[in-house]
Amino acid sequence: MTAILAISNRKGGSGKTTTAVNLAAEWGARGHRILLVDLDTQGHAGLGFGVVAGRDEPTAHHIFSKTGFSLEEAIRPSVSANVAVAPADPLFDGTGVADRSVSALRRNLRSPAIAERFDLVILDTPPSLDMVLVNALAAADSVLIPMIPHALSAEGVRQLTRLFFRIATTVNAGLTLAGLLPVMLNPRTSHHRDTLQDVGTEFGFNRLLSGIRSDIQLAEAFAARRPIHDYAPRSRGAADYRVLADELGGLWPELNPDQAFDTRLS
Ligand SMILES: Nc1ncnc2c1ncn2[C@@H]1O[C@H](COP(=O)(O)OP(=O)(O)OP(=O)(O)O)[C@@H](O)[C@H]1O
Ligand SMILES: [Mg+2]
């Protein structure tokens, strides 16, 4: 079965897209077959791989706006090995959508064609609470919450965890929390350390992943429309995303690097 990881936070600019792009590239490079679905109309996740939908081209959002549309129609190859992308529709506004059900995305992702082609689906989600975000959590096996460790960040995490529990107690009982991921981290800043202490106390220290340090090369890689794995493999950002891929692999056996080798053999 294809594993589905949603990357979400109700706060904007919290490293969701950067994490979606760079995890997809890292796991792709390890031999996993990845589908990155860009559910944010800003289209940044697709852009990070150089994939943008032109006018009238099929997008991930068409599963909501077009009757009988199948996600497969929107899937395209990317600049990275093993990573395919379903780009976003910048014109999607959520009004007048054809399919308002919470399971439209889940139905599409659980199709035999997706199961055959991909080991893992990564969902980059918008910060707004709308039917697209609800669809993402209803479809996912697990949610990863990136967050900047400063005083105002906890509220975005709280809002997302409230939604997490609502979905996990209704339409998606199998939903798990992959962890809280501190991003743009400066371990020498005492404010960051204090915030992480507070976040650990509130949400559980066992939920806190090692984190991604602040690295301007992550922003530069995005501007160059390439993942950090290709753009600056020796950078701090690349090293931290490798550690994250290992950590999540340890938590989630489907993502274990050893199994990537098996995938290539089969
Ligand atoms: N570890 C990091 N170090 C330095 N800059 C970073 C890091 N992570 C992300 N950024 C930069 O921070 C900005 C916001 O990141 P990103 O776009 O990933 O957030 P987001 O949560 O997807 O935002 P939105 O809610 O608008 O979708 C971007 O300019 C990105 O390049
Ligand atoms: Mg984003």
Question: Of 248, 250, 260, nearest to 19 (Cα)?
Answer: 248
3-state secondary structure of 116: helix
Residue nearest to atom 14 of ligand 1 (CA): 13
CATH topology for the 3-259 domain: Rossmann fold (3.40.50)
| Max Cα distance, the chain (Å) | 53
DSSP sequence for 49-81? TT--PPTT---TTHHHHSTT--GGGG-EE-SST
Going by CA atoms, what residue is nearest to atom 25 of ligand 1? 12
Q: Which structure tokens are listed for 26?
A: 């890292």
Give the ligand whose atoms come closest to the C-alpha of residue 18.
Answer: 1
Counting from 1 in the atom list of ligand 1, the atom nearest the Cα of 223 is 31
Distance CA 105, CA 99 (A): 10
Q: What is the pLDDT of residue 95?
A: 79
How many angstroms separate the CA atoms of 21 and 13, rounded? 14
**Is 18 near ligand 1, meaning CB less than 6 Å away?**
yes
| Among the bound ligands, the one closest to the CA of 239 | 1
The answer, yes or no, to whether residue 261 has pLDDT greater than 50, is no
Q: Among 28-37, 91-100, 200-209, name the most confident range.
A: 28-37
Give the pLDDT score at 169: 96
Would you say the CB of residue 22 lies under 6 angstroms from ligand 1?
A: no
| CB burial of residue 170 (10 Å; 0-12, 13-18, 19+) | exposed
Predicted pLDDT at 256 = 57
Least confident residue range of 49-53, 115-119, 249-253? 249-253
Cα dihedral: 53, 71, 88, 12 (round 10):
-160
| Phi, psi for residue 41 in degrees, rounded to 5 | -60, -15
Quick one: pLDDT band at residue 152, thresholds 50, 70, 90?
Answer: confident
Q: What is the dihedral of CA 110, 263, 234, 249, to 10 degrees?
A: 60
Beta strands 34-38 and 83-86, pairing class: parallel
Among all ligands shown, which has an atom nearest to the Cα of 128?
Answer: 1
Q: Are 256 and 3 within 8 A, CB to CB?
A: no
Confirm or reject: Cβ of 14 under 6 Å from ligand 1: yes
The pLDDT mean for the chain works out to 91
Strands 142-147 and 3-7, bridge-based pairing: parallel
pLDDT tens-digit series, residues 201-257: 988 999 999 999 999 999 999 999 999 999 999 999 999 999 999 999 876 666 654
The pLDDT tens digits for 168-205 are 999 999 999 999 999 999 978 999 999 999 999 988 99
- Write down the domain spans for the chain: 3-259
